[in-house]
Structure 1
Amino acid sequence: MQSQDVAPRPTASAGPVVDVAQAEAALVEHYPRLVRLAYLVLPPSLGRNRRVLTAHALTQRALPRRRTPSSVIPAQATGRDGDPGYAFVRLTVVRTALEAGLPLRRAAWPKRSQLPPLLPQVWGLRLFPRSGGADELALDQRLSALSAAARAAYVLRGLEKLADADVRRVLKAAGVGDPRAALAEADRVEARDPLLHSPEFDPCALHARPTDLMRRRQHMKAALAAAAAVAVCGALLALPGDGWGPEGPAAPSYAQNPAAVAALDPGRVTRVSPAAWRTSARTDLSVWPARGNLAGDSALLRRALAVWARPGGSVQVSATPGTPAGAPPGPPQLLYAGDVDQARVVLFYDGLRIARYAEPRDGTGGAALDFARVDGARGAEASAVVLDRADGNVRYLTAPWVTGAAQRDLMKPAATPTALTLSADGATSPLAGPARTGACASWNALQLTDAGGSRLMTDLGELTPAHLTSGAPSAPHEATGAAALANWAPFACSLTAMRSEGVRSVNAWQYARQPLPDASGEAAWVCTRADTWRGDGTRVLAQFHTPGGTYGAVAAKAENSPACGARDSHVLAGVLWKSGTGGWYLLAAGSKDTTTVTATGGVTGSAKGPLLAVRTGQGAQAGLRGNLADGRSVTGLR
């Protein structure tokens, strides 16, 4: 935002008076909304950590110091109608957020909002909202390209639902010189109002990560050394004569670790031969060659390694759950460095993690650093890494052994997949990512082909796509066959619940088919299990699909459960179901080695074998218990 975008504050005319208590009540009641408003208006160049803290600071400082006339402030159209307290606090938040984006001038004292906030402060942690998907990232990039006034206009219109006339009045009251120009500039960005309510832009629901531990340790050591030096110097001044004499053989206290220095040297980055994978017995990331048109750009690699070791405050850092975000332990392996769309992208691999560094082509502002855990990845799990997301599309870098790529809609199992082009470097053409908003009418997956066959991968908002399989947990197989695709189709949209969880693979297992009462056909019971890279955090869904239905229904779910897995391939779940004749039934199904199923609680009944159907009433609640062929018992999934 240029300095001329904001004019001197206008003087409020006579009108309703805002009392401090009234403004405080509005601030407390609508605090999350006001902080979100400040976060969206603040310039993204501040970095996510400082942007979060500044948004909270500006909102907390929005209380008036005395009773204040507020006639120039339009009220919110719904829910906060006629509340001058809320209108005043909102105006103050918008004004100070606009001021925070003004450039500092040598000839003028900085405004309080332009300085890092004194409070709140969090020591030793970096705070940032939950990462969203491709749509949120694209919107954030578009908003960052707007001036601060236009960004405020877009947010007031989309988040606050203000009419354009009210938006102009708020901007004018906040000191914007040309509100009409700000609205015209905001019109260039497509209205995506639901995305403004995404967790991506919620500075009240935060992830916490440590700051640069190595740099913090070095600063602590330096501070201790300085304190010790001051103490020694003071003692020496009190000693007679020349003090203690020479230091002798003591090494300097600031000596650096040679391994850490080597890890940041672009000349020592590991580069695998392009033909290594052809003769290797391994099919993992360790045999990927270094690719990309900028693989020889030492300056770019040096920046990427330096940001990895000590990311600055403006760098957006994200990591999948359970992934350490610290510096590389030694020189990493270079997988890719090149121009991708409007960014320069570098991919490193250190044996445990993929690190992706991205910066704009026209500078280094707005750089991003992402981490994903990939230890033990091989075969399908080491076949693709996300290069870039833009406009709802995903571009992948594929393994050197991949010979073909295609886009397949999981909800249309009989449709022919759409071929994607592969560049000489193994990068795919853009693939439309799974829909994130509105009704789930399709789910696009990536189909890769190599000498061993085809496999399906899906984007769950992370650096590595999740591998989709089908079949019994003891022997899952690729989900590219006709039967496996038909099995996945009704349950594809349930993958939404597994986004941003560090998912490694998802298996769909049809463990039972059940004849429905009242001659209603036959239902399918499917268990989908998502396993993560970190081992814990697994998510299990037992789902129920009736004939003719487009979607499956989640009957039961559990986290960190062994059910439907290789260690315990047993599951029991139930659902209340209404037949076409209006009768209500408790239906339950267990895996094939279930010998009896019993309903307890609000519904009583039992059956031999893995299937149970008991007539009941709407809203009935029941527990489930089953016995297995080996004598063990099993309860309903929960």
Structure 2
Amino acid sequence: MQSQDVAPHPASASGPAIDVEQAEATLVEHYPRLVRLAYLVLPPGLGRNRRVLTAHGLVQRALPRGRALSAVIPSQSGGRHSAGASHRSGGAGGAASPAAGCDGDPGYALLRLRVVRTALEAGRPLRGTAWPKRSQLPPLLPLVWGLRLFPRSGGADELALDQRLSALSAPARAAHVLRGLEGLPEGGVRRVLSAAGVADPAAAIRQAASVPAEDALLHSPEFDPCALQARPTDLMRRRQHTKAALAAAAAVAVCGALLTVPSGGWGPDGAAADAQNPAALAALDPARVTRVAPTAWQTSARTDFSVWPARGGLTGDRGLLRRALAVWARPGESVRVSATPGTPSGGPAGPPQLLYAGRVDAARVVVFYDGLRIVRYAEPSNGTDGAALDLARADAASGAEAEALVLDRTDGNVRYLTAPWVRAAVQRDLVRPSAGVMDLRPADGVTAPLATPARQSGSCASWNVLQLTDGSGTRVLADLGELMPAHLTVGRPAGPREASGAADLRTWAPFACSLAAVRSQGVRSVNAWEFARQSLPDGSGAAQWVCTRADTWRGDAPRVLAQFRTPGGRSGVVAAQAEGVAACGAKDPHVLAGVLWKSAGGAWYLLAAGSKDTASVRTTGQVNGSARGSLLTVRTRQGVRAGLRGTLTDGRTVGGLR
């Protein structure tokens, strides 16, 4: 808003005298409507919390100071509304429609003028050469500590209107609100703006006409500062900086004369972004979303989400895209929002890339990619109630990690959207690798429904996985209840390979059900490494030691399992586990674990095994034993407690996984 848009207001004009008690009664009766008027005229760049408090403060200070005051403009007659219409106050919601009965009240006309004038002043930038007006400073009252107050969130239409109003100058915004909320004709709007000190009311009215008249939206709860939601401020920061705030307050008291206010005015709710930020506005425009050419992946050296084309039958539905972007930027209370651990949940920083928009089963689904996250918006086909927003990290995803994402879940089934270079997609049971596969027949990248194991309870008899084939090979992905399926590999941590060969699938089979231990933890990949085979002391064969390590998109390991499987055993037994450790990973490709085992003859043994570069193993605690090499077998008794220590071939020591 430019300061030259508002001139000093005229001192007075003839009009009926207004008694202050009459004005107070009018203010109380029409308080919700006046506060809504102030909220809409105030610059959106103040932030929603600051606008709410400022709007209430301006209306509460609108009463004349003397016992009586002459109205600065004559009473206005109704514009689009019947002169005989009765007016009802907006109540708590303040959503009453304007009527002549109210506009013919000189007390209301005076209060409305004072509210518009001070709201225009509040948006003018502070100047170092002049003292600020009271309306330009943060309101002293009302004052709320420890809470942020803001109106209930509306839909995409309300958000779009708010963005359009923010692009207007303050006088033009006031003209639009007086026309739409108050129902004043053009002449009435011109008189109010002129009395409020606007230098060129005609220009403001012309600019306001560029925004389509959407009067019903002005009465939306989105713009009702009397029906509020409350949220805490940043509790951790508040706790951590209490002492600093006290010291700063003391410094301000001593050196206040040396402090200056920035030329842009007081910050909108702390570090909140300017509502007129061009990047933020562009991010909400469906016409600006990035669309990659359908053949871009064929000539690109990249194999990630950045070369996925926009697919689906609704990529041209701007209304759907606008709703998806609006919900992403500011989800309402009715929207179910989920994000994998470590995923930022804020709105888009700029126009995102569109990966998909179409109908899937009983929903309309939109999928975006912003270089860091995959964002999926879903709403029912017959409305918007029950919309959902899911976010997942996908930074640096490439190859197998960028070949599929979850598009929809319905009745225990999941559909995937696959990369354009995927040639075949099949369902395979990881528990029974020799069983046949089911062709998922991707159509425009969307697979047929796949039964998901992500919510199994009780015994684990199967674990369905997605097997994809492209020009470079075959990969296996597991659904762990998130947008991004986990990439399954086998082999030594320093050089894992795809878990797609027959032998590799057999390695995974006894340990497939252990994937449930890392469900919904933002897992990027899971590697199964057979680090040892140990002959059992009763001569019944060799046991298998396998370490499964899950790595997340955050870079840590939520779960490392050392599992023990005897000959003929259907599944492995967890012998040891740890969280957040480097063991069994590329940075520390070593592991040592032990288990108490009972032979068929009833004898108890402590069996321990380490990776191949383990030079010796010894026990601590209630069991005494040691052995050269990576394997240890010690006769013991049931229920003993023992620890393990190993020495590597380079002289370093390792402890048992725990």
- TM-score for the superposition, normalised by structure 1: 0.63
Residue range with higher mean Cα deviation, 222-231 or 342-351: 222-231
Indicate the percent of aligned positions where both proteins have the same amino acid.
Answer: 67
Distance in 2, matches of 1:350 and 1:235, equals 53
Q: Which of 362, 374, 380 is 1:354 aligned to?
A: 374
Please list every run of 5 or more consecutive structure 1 residues that lacks an aligned counterpart in the other structure. 1-214
Distance in 2, matches of 1:401 and 1:528, equals 29
Distance in 2, matches of 1:516 and 1:569, equals 25
> Offset of 1:538 from its aligned partner?
2.9
User: Given the alignment of the two structures, is residue 549 of structure 1 paired with residue 569 of structure 2, yes or no?
Assistant: yes
Distance in 1, matches of 2:277 and 2:56, equals 23
User: Given the alignment of the two structures, is residue 399 of structure 1 paired with residue 419 of structure 2, yes or no?
Assistant: yes
Distance in 2, matches of 1:489 and 1:619, equals 30
CA spacing shift, 1:448–1:237, aligned 2, 3 Å: farther
User: Given the alignment of the two structures, is residue 220 of structure 1 paired with residue 49 of structure 2, yes or no?
Assistant: yes
Distance in 2, matches of 1:237 and 1:404, equals 82
Alignment of 1:615-630 (within 5 A): 615-630=635-650
Distance in 2, matches of 1:255 and 1:468, equals 44
Distance in 1, matches of 2:497 and 2:66, equals 77
Q: Which of 433, 437, 448 is 2:452 aligned to?
A: 433
Q: Which SS does the other structure have where 2:52 is aligned? A: helix
State the match for 1:343 in structure 2.
Answer: 363
Alignment of 1:76-95 (within 5 A): none
CA-atom RMSD in angstroms? 2.5
> Offset of 1:216 from its aligned partner?
12
> Offset of 1:259 from its aligned partner?
1.6
Q: Which SS does the other structure have where 1:296 is aligned? A: coil
For the pair shown, the structure with the greater C-alpha radius of gyration is 2
> Offset of 1:431 from its aligned partner?
0.9
State the match for 1:499 in structure 2.
Answer: 519
Q: Which SS does the other structure have where 1:439 is aligned? A: coil
Contact 2:594 2:609 (C-alpha < 8 Å) held by counterparts: yes
Alignment of 1:542-621 (within 5 A): 542-621=562-641
Distance in 1, matches of 2:47 and 2:589, equals 50
Alignment of 1:311-322 (within 5 A): 311-322=331-342
CA spacing shift, 1:229–1:504, aligned 2, 3 Å: same
> Offset of 1:276 from its aligned partner?
0.6
> Offset of 1:432 from its aligned partner?
1.1
> Offset of 1:325 from its aligned partner?
1.2
CA spacing shift, 1:236–1:274, aligned 2, 3 Å: farther
Distance in 2, matches of 1:473 and 1:637, equals 16
> Which residue identity does 1:223 align to in structure 2?
V
Distance in 2, matches of 1:327 and 1:399, equals 25
Alignment of 1:504-515 (within 5 A): 504-515=524-535
User: Given the alignment of the two structures, is residue 529 of structure 1 paired with residue 358 of structure 2, yes or no?
Assistant: no
> Offset of 1:354 from its aligned partner?
0.7
Distance in 1, matches of 2:62 and 2:283, equals 36
State the match for 2:492 in structure 1.
Answer: 472
Distance in 2, matches of 1:294 and 1:354, equals 18
CA spacing shift, 1:266–1:575, aligned 2, 3 Å: same
> Offset of 1:218 from its aligned partner?
2.2
User: Given the alignment of the two structures, is residue 637 of structure 1 paired with residue 649 of structure 2, yes or no?
Assistant: no
> Which residue identity does 2:598 align to in structure 1?
K
> Offset of 1:223 from its aligned partner?
3.4
> Offset of 1:521 from its aligned partner?
0.5
Distance in 2, matches of 1:600 and 1:278, equals 59
Q: Could you give the per-residue CA deviations for residues 589-612 of structure 1, whole angstroms, max 9, x where no partner exists?
A: 000000010011011100000000
Contact 2:518 2:558 (C-alpha < 8 Å) held by counterparts: no
- TM-score for the superposition, normalised by structure 2: 0.61
Contact 2:45 2:275 (C-alpha < 8 Å) held by counterparts: no
Distance in 2, matches of 1:609 and 1:304, equals 59
> Offset of 1:279 from its aligned partner?
0.7
> Which residue identity does 2:464 align to in structure 1?
N
Q: Which of 476, 479, 484 is 1:459 aligned to?
A: 479
> Offset of 1:585 from its aligned partner?
0.4
State the match for 2:431 in structure 1.
Answer: 411
> Offset of 1:258 from its aligned partner?
2.1
How many residues are treated as equivalent by the alignment? 422
CA spacing shift, 1:579–1:255, aligned 2, 3 Å: closer
Q: Which SS does the other structure have where 1:221 is aligned? A: helix
Contact 2:336 2:389 (C-alpha < 8 Å) held by counterparts: yes
Q: Which of 317, 320, 324 is 1:304 aligned to?
A: 324
Distance in 1, matches of 2:64 and 2:554, equals 53
Distance in 2, matches of 1:235 and 1:616, equals 93
CA spacing shift, 1:532–1:237, aligned 2, 3 Å: farther
Q: Could you give the per-residue CA deviations for residues 454-487 of structure 1, whole angstroms, max 9, x where no partner exists?
A: 0000000000100000000000000001111111
CA spacing shift, 1:355–1:237, aligned 2, 3 Å: farther
Distance in 1, matches of 2:568 and 2:508, equals 15
User: Given the alignment of the two structures, is residue 482 of structure 1 paired with residue 502 of structure 2, yes or no?
Assistant: yes
> Offset of 1:233 from its aligned partner?
6.7
CA spacing shift, 1:442–1:216, aligned 2, 3 Å: farther
Q: Which SS does the other structure have where 1:365 is aligned? A: coil
Q: Which SS does the other structure have where 1:505 is aligned? A: strand
CA spacing shift, 1:352–1:466, aligned 2, 3 Å: same
> Offset of 1:230 from its aligned partner?
6.5
Residue range with higher mean Cα deviation, 554-563 or 220-229: 220-229
User: Given the alignment of the two structures, is residue 333 of structure 1 paired with residue 353 of structure 2, yes or no?
Assistant: yes
Q: Could you give the per-residue CA deviations for residues 181-236 of structure 1, whole angstroms, max 9, x where no partner exists?
A: xxxxxxxxxxxxxxxxxxxxxxxxxxxxxxxxxx9982222135446756987899
Distance in 2, matches of 1:326 and 1:217, equals 19
> Which residue identity does 1:584 align to in structure 2?
W
CA spacing shift, 1:615–1:235, aligned 2, 3 Å: farther
> Offset of 1:249 from its aligned partner?
6.4
Q: Which of 378, 384, 387 is 2:398 aligned to?
A: 378
Q: Which of 408, 413, 416 is 1:388 aligned to?
A: 408
Q: Which SS does the other structure have where 1:589 is aligned? A: strand
Please list every run of 5 or more consecutive structure 2 residues that lacks an aligned counterpart in the other structure. 1-43, 73-113, 127-168, 171-264, 266-273
> Offset of 1:311 from its aligned partner?
1.0
> Which residue identity does 1:566 align to in structure 2?
A
State the match for 2:137 in structure 1.
Answer: none
Distance in 2, matches of 1:348 and 1:358, equals 12
Distance in 1, matches of 2:590 and 2:407, equals 38
Q: Could you give the per-residue CA deviations for residues 575-599 of structure 1, whole angstroms, max 9, x where no partner exists?
A: 0001111110000000000001001
Distance in 2, matches of 1:538 and 1:592, equals 25
Q: Which SS does the other structure have where 1:585 is aligned? A: strand
Q: Could you give the per-residue CA deviations for residues 300-335 of structure 1, whole angstroms, max 9, x where no partner exists?
A: 101111111111111111111111111111111100
CA spacing shift, 1:255–1:386, aligned 2, 3 Å: closer
Distance in 1, matches of 2:414 and 2:309, equals 22
Distance in 1, matches of 2:609 and 2:379, equals 52
State the match for 1:136 in structure 2.
Answer: none
> Which residue identity does 2:392 align to in structure 1?
A
Q: Could you give the per-residue CA deviations for residues 531-575 of structure 1, whole angstroms, max 9, x where no partner exists?
A: 001113431000001000001000000000000100000000000
Q: Which SS does the other structure have where 1:463 is aligned? A: coil
> Which residue identity does 1:257 align to in structure 2?
N
Q: Which SS does the other structure have where 1:364 is aligned? A: coil
CA spacing shift, 1:524–1:422, aligned 2, 3 Å: same
Distance in 1, matches of 2:292 and 2:325, equals 18
Contact 2:45 2:276 (C-alpha < 8 Å) held by counterparts: no
Distance in 2, matches of 1:461 and 1:226, equals 45
> Which residue identity does 1:381 align to in structure 2?
E
State the match for 1:323 in structure 2.
Answer: 343
Distance in 2, matches of 1:276 and 1:236, equals 69
CA spacing shift, 1:255–1:522, aligned 2, 3 Å: closer
Distance in 2, matches of 1:636 and 1:299, equals 58
> Which residue identity does 1:385 align to in structure 2?
L
